[in-house]
Amino acid sequence: MKYRKLGQTCLTVSELGFGTWGIGGNAYGQVDDNESKKALKAAFTSGINFYDTANLYGNGHSEELLGEVFAGRRDEVIIATKGGTLPHTTFDMPQDFSSRHIKEALVGSLKRLKTDYIDLYLLHSPKIVDIERNADLLNTLEASKKEGKILAYGVSARTPDDAMRAIDKFGFNVVEVNFNLIDQRALGNGLFERARKDKLGLIIRTPLTFGFLTGKLHGDETFVGTDHRSNWPKDQLKRWGQAHQLFSFLYKGKNRTPAQAALRYCLDYEAVSTVIPGMINIHEVDENVASSGMSSLTVEEIDLIKHIYKEKEAEFYDRSFQKVKPNEAS
């Protein structure tokens, strides 16, 4: 495992982190807590020290799992959690970014994580106007930092454009955004270059597009209950399920799986601090961790990826059916 500085913070994180949305149990179907704990322990043994969670994931359950698994070795891991987005099951996201709520959310997260500090606290998918209208919000984050409750803070942005606005308007120096083979908006809007130039912490979420870039889903699956993928139209899921085939030159005849190729693509950008795929069992941990030790993609491969994306971008993310922006957070 390789490690990178998280921007200008005091934190050094594994370049491959562990996204815990799935193990919360209410976003990707039912999971087995025992398997989740084994996965967390295997990740730690493999060198992963960065764990990304939120009070939203399983209504705090993923935080509880982290608190249990890492009790007694808290100083050996770096935990990022989030607050501000309230429980929901559709694309409509109720939120509360008032200072009062964030203070209460932070207290709850500390309790579930069984810790007296959080390494990185992120505002969870706020609209820029929500930050503007809550005048005391940034002061609350600063006060929590001075009190030692958090070591650093930032924003998990709805979109790469929101991330840029958060940096410009409020001076955030750690941002979390979507980025993967079929969602390169963060590259196109200049965020990667900004992060590299200004030494910002850049956390990449959804590197596997909700599991569809692993090659293990085909887009004709039926997602039920609170699985967030049930909100997307069937034709969108089908396009995602077929997307990995467009990049088969990255793994066919080569010592990479589709998931490893997708992760390697994200890792190859100097601006990236860490990439946080979701993992729910030991097999996924082993497969994903191996990507850190693999050779970088070639210039020719990167160029072909960009060419394919330019041709297919509109198909990858057709959101014309939506009246409400989707929850892009993970």
Which residue, 172, 178, 152, is CA-closest to 276? 178
pLDDT at 327 over 80: no
Q: How far apart are the first and last CA of the chain?
A: 23
Q: What is the DSSP letter of 46?
A: T
Residue 326 reports pLDDT greater than 50: no
CATH number at residue 74: 3.20.20.100
Task: State the total domains in the chain.
Answer: 1
Residue type present at position 83: G
Cα–Cα distance, 207 to 266 (Å, whole number): 7
Sign of CA dihedral 3, 275, 70, 33: negative
Contact in structure between 3 and 14 (CB atoms under 8 Å): yes
Asked whether residue 15 is assigned to any structural domain, the reply reads yes
Question: Which ranges in the chain belong to alpha helices (H)?
Answer: 33-45, 61-69, 99-112, 128-133, 137-146, 160-170, 185-188, 191-198, 234-246, 258-267, 282-290, 299-316
- 327 within some domain: no
Decide if 326 is inside a domain. no
Check residue 319 and give its pLDDT: 56
Q: Do 117 and 87 meet the contact criterion of CB atoms below 8 Å apart?
A: no
Given the structure tokens 């980025």, which residue do they identify? 179
Q: Which residue carries 């960009």 as its tokens? A: 306
* Domain hosting residue 265, numbered range: 3-316
In a domain, 303, yes or no: yes
* Distance from chain centroid for Cα 19: 6
CB 82 within 8 A of CB 328: no
Closest CA to 254 of 295, 287, 202: 295
308 within a domain of the structure (yes/no): yes
Q: What pLDDT, in 10s, does the model give residues 145-192?
A: 999 999 999 999 999 999 999 999 999 999 999 999 999 999 999 999
pLDDT tens string 13-59: 999 999 999 999 999 988 999 999 999 999 999 999 999 999 999 99
Q: What distances in angstroms separate CA 116 from CA 94, 106, 148, one per listed residue?
A: 28, 10, 8
CA angle 92, 95, 100 (to 5 degrees): 170
Residue 30 lies in a domain: yes
Structural contact between residues 155 and 141, judged by C-beta atoms closer than 8 angstroms: no
Secondary element (H or E) of residue 127: none
Between 166 and 86, the higher pLDDT residue: 166
In a domain, 328, yes or no: no
Tell me what the pLDDT averaged over the chain comes to.
Answer: 93
Cβ-Cβ contacts under 8 Å for 312 (sequence gap 6 or more): 182, 243, 246
For the whole model, what pTM was predicted? Answer: 0.95
* 321 occurs within a structural domain: no
Determine the Cα–Cα distance for residues 152 and 157; give it in Å rounded to an integer: 16
Higher pLDDT, 91 or 244: 244
Taking the C-alpha atoms of residue 112 and residue 204, their distance in angstroms, rounded to an integer, is 25
Q: What is the pLDDT of residue 85?
A: 87
